[in-house]
């Protein structure tokens, strides 16, 4: 490692290695849930097929669009701060935060509908996994939102610049990972059950 910093990526190598190692743990955290899902989808194929039809495919679709867009906004924000554009960064962070709120609101609509219909985590294996997976993902969204608020406060004080954007960079990577988890959750739960 000749240098801990290269111009192309905003964060030092150590920070990037750190966040990718952290995402590796996140991958295996969700990975075990995906393993459980795979096993029960094989052993209880009929149940999974019937139950997944009960989920609202259009709301899931909408939520995917919302989350994908929030990935775009944070990516643009990072590209902006690498050029020193603090104002664009602040707008992008606020947009990302708003989209995350939107995601959670749609999730709330879905869950309250589920509860209203009497579908609970204890209803059956499919709903157990559905609530577990979307719930854990939702917690990650909330954690991401807390990070966005923290970044916004720091950005407001002018903490970030073209020279220093590490917290924004690694939060961005985390946020994209949360997006990727949803990219898999959506088809597994809503489309192919």
Q: Which residues would be at the binding site for other proteins (CB under 8 A)?
A: 1, 4, 6, 8-9, 13-14, 16-18, 20-36, 38-40, 42-44, 47, 57, 61, 64-65, 68-69, 71-72, 75-76, 79, 83, 120-122, 124-125, 128-129, 131-132, 136, 172-173, 176-177, 179-180, 183-184, 186-188, 190-192
Minimum distance of other proteins from residue 158's CB (angstroms): 22
Q: Are 70 and 175 in contact (CB under 8 A)?
A: yes
Tally Cβ neighbours within 10 Å of residue 42: 9
Judged by CB, which is closer to other proteins: 85, or 109? Answer: 85
Minimum distance of other proteins from residue 121's CB (angstroms): 4
Minimum distance of other proteins from residue 160's CB (angstroms): 17
Judged by CB, which is closer to other proteins: 48, or 160? Answer: 48
Closest C-alpha to 128, from 32, 26, 33, 192: 33
Minimum distance of other proteins from residue 191's CB (angstroms): 4
Category of 118 on φ-ψ map: left (φ > 0), alpha (ψ -120 to 50) or beta: left
Exposed e or buried b per residue across 141-179, where buried means at least 16 C-beta atoms within 10 angstroms of its C-beta: beebbebbeebbeebeeeebeeeebbbbbbbbbbbebbb
């Amino acid at each position: 490692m000749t240098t801990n910093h290269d111009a192309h990526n905003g964060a030092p190598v150590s920070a990037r290695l750190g966040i990718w190692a952290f995402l590796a743990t996140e991958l295996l955290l969700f990975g075990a849930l995906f393993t459980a899902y795979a096993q029960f989808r094989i052993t209880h194929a009929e149940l999974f097929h019937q139950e997944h039809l009960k989920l609202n495919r259009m709301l899931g679709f909408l939520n995917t669009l919302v989350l994908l867009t929030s990935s775009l906004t944070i990516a643009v924000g990072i590209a902006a701060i690498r050029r020193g554009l603090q104002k664009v960064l602040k707008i992008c962070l606020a947009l990302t935060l708003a989209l995350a709120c939107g995601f959670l609101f749609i999730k709330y609509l879905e869950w309250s509908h589920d509860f209203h219909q009497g579908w609970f985590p204890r209803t059956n294996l499919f709903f157990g996994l559905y609530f577990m997976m979307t719930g854990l993902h939702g917690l990650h969204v909330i954690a991401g939102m807390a990070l966005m608020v923290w970044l916004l406060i720091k950005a407001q004080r002018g903490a970030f610049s073209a020279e220093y954007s590490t917290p924004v960079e690694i939060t961005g990577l985390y946020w994209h990972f949360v997006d990727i988890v949803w990219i898999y959750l959506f088809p597994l739960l809503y489309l192919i059950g």
